[in-house]
Amino acid sequence: MSLTRRQREILEFLRQFLRKHGYAPSLLEIGRAFSLSSSATIHKHLCALEARGAIRRSRGRRRYMELVDSPSSGRLVDLPLLGSVPAGKPLEALEVEERISVPEFLVSGTRAYVLRVRGDSMREEQIRDGDYVVVEDRPVPENGETVVALLHGEEVTLKKFHRERGKVRLSPANPAYEPMVLPAKEVRIQGIVRGLLRRY
């Protein structure tokens, strides 16, 4: 697979963005990263990456993209599947004895696990009911990261995290749901979402 320097830079940007967010960047976000104002130029680079087998896209699905790793970089890691996490109303998560294989680049050397998503409150982040999220075991998130949060010591939910003057706001990505604002001491972060897996 022969790529130009700019194509390699864009491919690495896509890899980092997918690792952080779990979905593909828009043309505007790619343009900002490389100071490119022409969406046609960005589209041309993406088409070149696709033609060379570096990425795979779906024309009918917004923000969908897969990186096609070379055989040497396509290693898998077995992670524990620790039941389900609600992306809707908080419910208790259930641990089960299962494991699931995920691409190694989603783990990046840290402790991690997988949860199955239940509900649709994160659908505008492209996280759907039945998806699997790869969760990094990290207790201190940055504002705006998608987290698995333990509420009141007993309920678990999947939401966007924001700090607000001694409180925590957990925001859905679906206008049908309201944000939850709780005292910081009542929220314990169990991990940060690093990737998304979907079975068809």
Regions of the chain with pLDDT less than 70: 1-2, 58-62, 69-75, 88-97, 108-110, 200
Q: What is the pLDDT of residue 2?
A: 58
Instruction: Give the pLDDT of residue 61.
Output: 65
The two structure tokens encoding residue 122: 């994160």
- The reported pLDDT for the residue numbered 30 is 92
Strands 76-86 and 112-118, by their bridges, are parallel
What pLDDT sits at residue 69? Answer: 59
Q: What integer pLDDT is reported at residue 72 of this predicted model?
A: 42
Dihedral through CA 57, CA 59, CA 62, CA 67, nearest 10?
0
Which pLDDT score is estimated for 108? Answer: 65
Q: Rounded to the nearest 10 degrees, what angle do helices 27-34 and 5-21 cross at?
A: 120
- Catalytic residue numbers? 121, 159
Give all domains of the chain, ordered by start, each with its CATH number: 5-67 (1.10.10.10), 74-197 (2.10.109.10)
Q: What pLDDT shows up at residue 148?
A: 94
Q: Which residue has the tokens 């990456």?
A: 49
Q: Are the C-beta atoms of 79 and 100 separated by less than 8 Å?
A: yes
